Structure formats: C-alpha cells, structure tokens
Structure 1
Amino acid sequence: MRVIAKRTLREFWEQGFESAETPLTEWYNMMLKASWATPQELKTDIRTASILKGGRVVFNIGGNKYRIIVAIRYTQQIAWVRFVGTHAQYDKVDAETI
C-alpha cells in the first residue's frame, strides 16, 4: 500500500514526541507491505484497528499511546494520513471528518 505521507509522521515526532519515531516508522513499514482489498481484511490482520465510515481507519500505535487516522482507498491501495497524535489529542478531533 502507498502511504501519503511519511512527512506527516516525521513532523509529529519532531515536535517533541521522539518516543513516537520507532512505532510510527514500524507502522509505516508495515503499511508499505500491506495489501488489503476490504476493511474486513484489514481488521482480520490488525484486530486493534477501528474501521470507521468513509474509508477511515484508526490505528493504535505504541501501546495505544499514539493514534493515526488514515483514509484508505482499497481499490487503489492508497492510505492518506489524516491525523497523527497522542491519545489525548485524538480525543479532541472528529475521526470521521478530519
């Protein structure tokens, strides 16, 4: 799967969240190798992922310390990073519209 964009992840850990670098990089590398045709296939592989409306998926990162929201187009195998943040920051956004 193509992930747009790693820069968003890097900018997050460079804002004082250095402990997020390793788990975010691991997530990014896992996504590059992934190939899901449907949200159900993704959920089968990653049970902790939350499938939302509109192709959105929430991933728990670093033991649920961080969250990533992506919009996925399964037919094109593209994942757009819409949000990356701490659990507290995640609680302040609308994951279905961000």
Structure 2
Amino acid sequence: MHVIRYKQFRDFGKKHSDNCGVLDDWLKVASRANWSNLSGIQSVFPQAEVINHFTVFSLKGKQYRLIVSINYEGQLIYLKHLLTHAEYKEQQQNGSYF
C-alpha cells in the first residue's frame, strides 16, 4: 500500500512524542501490506473498523485514533486525521470527521 500524507503526521508525533514510534510501526506494516478488504486489515489490526467510508485504527492501546481513506484497488491509503482518544470521542459526537 502507498501511504499518502505521512509527513504531515510527523508534526503530531512531535506534539505527542509517545505516539511517534507507534505511528512509525503502523506505517511499516501498512506500506508493506497488500490489503484488498477490511478482513485483511483486521488480521493485523483486529480493532480496525469502517465508519462512513473511513477506516479507523486504534493505536497504542486505544490512546490514539488514526482515520484513513483506503482505495484497495489502487493500493492507496490517504491519512485523514490522527487524534487522541479524547479528541476522537469529542469529534465523533459532533460528527466532524465522518
């Protein structure tokens, strides 16, 4: 899979330094993957789920949420948002990210 917008997420890693390694680990797995559906993703990331056309990954024991758009046919992952759990819950209630 080709991951788009990863460099912008490095700023989040600077702000939340405990997450930087987790995001790097996720990128290594995702960039080597050849996912064709959610089942393939869940074989590696069991808590991944689809919400309104976006795939949401729980990272670092659910401390962070990574929201992406995936084009399986084109093997592209577009990073949309990386949020703390608190930010995710707040925005989810407001419908801001979905």
Alignment TM class, shorter chain as reference: 0.7 to 0.9
Regions of 4+ moved over 3 Å: none
Q: Show structure 2 runs of 5+ residues with no match.
A: none
CA distance in 2, matches of 1:77, 1:60: 21
Query: What is the letter of the counterpart of residue 84 of structure 1?
Result: L
The more displaced of 1-10 and 79-88 is 1-10
- 1:25 counterpart residue number: 24
1:16-47 CA distance string (max 9 Å, x none): 21111110110111110111111232223321
- 1:42 counterpart residue number: 41
| Conservation of the 8 A alpha-carbon contact between 1:69 and 1:95 | no
Residues 96 and 13 of structure 1, relative CA distance in 2, 3 Å threshold? closer
| Conservation of the 8 A alpha-carbon contact between 1:61 and 1:67 | yes
- 2:5 counterpart residue number: 5
- 1:85 counterpart residue number: 83
Return the TM-score normalized by structure 1. Answer: 0.86
Q: Percent identity?
A: 25
Q: Show structure 1 runs of 5+ residues with no match.
A: none
Coordinate RMSD, CA, aligned: 1.6
Give the total of aligned pairs.
95
| Conservation of the 8 A alpha-carbon contact between 1:53 and 1:96 | no
